[in-house]
Amino acid sequence: MIMLKVTDLKVNYGGIEALKGISFDVRQGQIVTLIGANGAGKSTTLRAISGLVKPSDGSINFMGRDITAFNSQKIVAEGVAMVPEGRRVFANLTVKENLKIGAYLRKDKDEIEEGIKDIYRRFPRLKEREWQLAGTLSGGEQQMLAVGRAMMAKPKLLMMDEPSLGLAPLVVKDIFSIIRDLKSEGITILLIEQNANAALRCADFGFVMETGRITMTGSGQELLVNEAVKNAYLGSN
Amino acid sequence: MIDKMLPYLLSGISVGGQYALIAVGYTMVYGILRLINFAHGDIFTAAGFFMVYIAAALPVPLAIPLVVILTVLLGVTVERVAYKPLRSAPRMSVMISAIGVSYLLQNLMWYVTGGLAKQYPVIPWISDSVTIGSATTKMVTLITPVLTILLVLALVTIIQKTKIGMAMRAVSKDFETAQLMGIKINSVISTTFVIGSLLAAVGSVLYFSNYTSVTPTVGAMPGLKAFVAAVFGGIGSIPGAVIGAFIIGICENIIKALGYTTFSDAFTFALLIVILLFKPTGLFGEKTSEKV
């Protein structure tokens, strides 16, 4: 089943066309990745889907509903959560508050408490630091918190913007194993990565973006062995 | 000596409390919008006029809640009309808009009152005289600090313990990520203005009950001093604003007690200059705990 259908999406930033009409689908239960160089329009795509920027043209359809004109709250309520680039945890809130605020739109108090416990089981280090301000966590811990916070919204689709950026290689490994775990639990993931190698390895499907367009599509495996992708994004050896 | 100082000290604490109630509005709006709401002092004055006109028609105990409601409506309307359309504009534009609103409100008040001082109603009980030791003062002098502290404690509890308080803290840190959590930025901002205006209205009733009349510009000075208090305490910090306000209120009155009444206003503004020169973030300026 197609969960997210983006059709001919265009976004302008003050006269500059950041997205020049891209179309792609995300199927339920899959990990789909957008790869490409800086400025290719990957982040803009996620920002448009989450309602932070208004597209100038095209449509975004989620679970059969046209969400193109929805604002951010409505989109979160529909079941789309985002782990933003650079983690963006609320440094002035405690770890626990950061998790609570992820469930801001949910009313089921008991289940929220359960959800927090569940996140702590997944990331025991967050439990240890429950009452600490999120600003005092290490980069990797902050990334776990950002993932946990997004999970607290009980999303159907989880979008992740460069989750491995700026993290130590060991931590990057952890992050990708978390992404695989989430998939095995049935969460659909739309992943943006500069680390194309790791992203394509865990992705069911990939799209290569270049200056506002999608230039190549294929399964993760296909793109991994594709000569053009190898040369441009994976390093030719 | 203590007999001579006591009345000044009492009135210093009281005035400090009134400044604090105004200063919280400045500091909260700054905390969220990074905007100095120049219209805040005029909203405080407008609350004085609301009281004048409403108390002419209704008994005072009924008038007070109405004054508070009208002041809150005015504060929220100013935000909706003058600041909200400029949400993505540069900060300077919003500040200019705030200065515009300030002048607009002042001139509206000139227009409505014809520039004449309006007699402020006598509020029963809080205007009564009490004697403490050697000092005879009004009830309001004693009520103000107590009420101020209770209101500020309530506010801090709201901000630390409730869901809307958590949303306010999140929005003050990061608009965009707060939106991604499903928080409605605009309703959080409106809440901030509701709280700020409500406290200014309470402050206004307490402040003006010490005076016989209200004029359109009479709120400018307490408004400015509350602003200095907010900067002194570290703008954005609520405890800072309150402590700053009490310090300013008390110092001003001690200076008066020493016989230098002429310099009491000058002291406050000299303090502002000194703070800006040596500790621009104020007493409790924003801690930065972010890791890069």
CATH of the domain at A192: 3.40.50.300
Confidence of residue B287 (pLDDT cuts 50, 70, 90): low
Name the pTM for this structure.
0.92
Find the mean pLDDT for residues A143-172.
Answer: 93
> Is residue A117 one of the residues assigned to a domain?
no
Smallest Cα–Cα separation from A86: which of A15, A168, A160, A13? A160
In a domain, A63, yes or no: yes
Rounded to a whole number of angstroms, the distance from the CA of A26 to the nearest CA of chain B is: 20
Note down the domain range covering A198: 2-90+154-234
Q: In this predicted model, what pLDDT tens digit does every residue of B90-144 receive, in sequence order?
A: 999 999 999 999 999 999 999 999 988 999 999 888 888 888 877 888 899 999 9
C-alpha A218/C-alpha A222 separation (Å) is 6
Nearest-by-Cβ selection for B166 from A77, A88, A101: A101
Task: Flag whether residue A93 sits within 8 Å of chain B, measured between CB atoms.
Answer: yes
The chain A residue lying nearest B186, using CA atoms, is A73
Note whether residue A230 is domain-resident.
Answer: yes
Give the minimum alpha-carbon distance from A188 to chain B in angstroms, rounded to a whole number.
18
Count the domains in chain A: 1
Local confidence band at B70 (pLDDT 50, 70, 90 cut-offs): very high
What is the rounded average pLDDT of the residues A195-211? 92
Q: Give per-residue pLDDT as tens, A116-139.
A: 999 999 999 999 999 999 999 999
Rounded distance, CA A118 to CA A124, Å?
10
* Interchain CB distance below 8 Å, B182 and A77: yes
Nearest chain A Cα distance for residue B93, angstroms: 19
Cβ-defined contact of B290 to A135 (cutoff 8 Å) = yes
Query: In B142-171, which positions are buried (b, 16+ CB within 10 angstroms) versus exposed (e)?
Result: bbbbebbeebbeebeeebeeeeebbbbbbb
Is the ipTM of this structure higher than 0.90?
A: yes
Q: In this structure, are residues A15 and A25 in contact, taking their beta carbons and an 8 Å threshold? A: no
- Residues in Cβ contact with B160 at an 8 Å cutoff, skipping those fewer than 6 apart: none
Nearest beta carbon to residue A73 from set B170, B184, B289:
B184
By the CB < 8 Å criterion, does A188 face chain B?
no
Query: Is residue A121 situated within a structural domain?
Result: no
**Cα separation, A59 vs A4, whole angstroms:** 11
Domains of chain B are 2-278 (1.10.3470.10)
Closest partner residue to B169 (CB to CB) among A92, A135, A149 is A92
Q: Å from A152 to nearest chain B CA?
A: 10
Residue from B88, B181, B186 to probe the interface with A (highest A Cβ count within 10 Å): B181
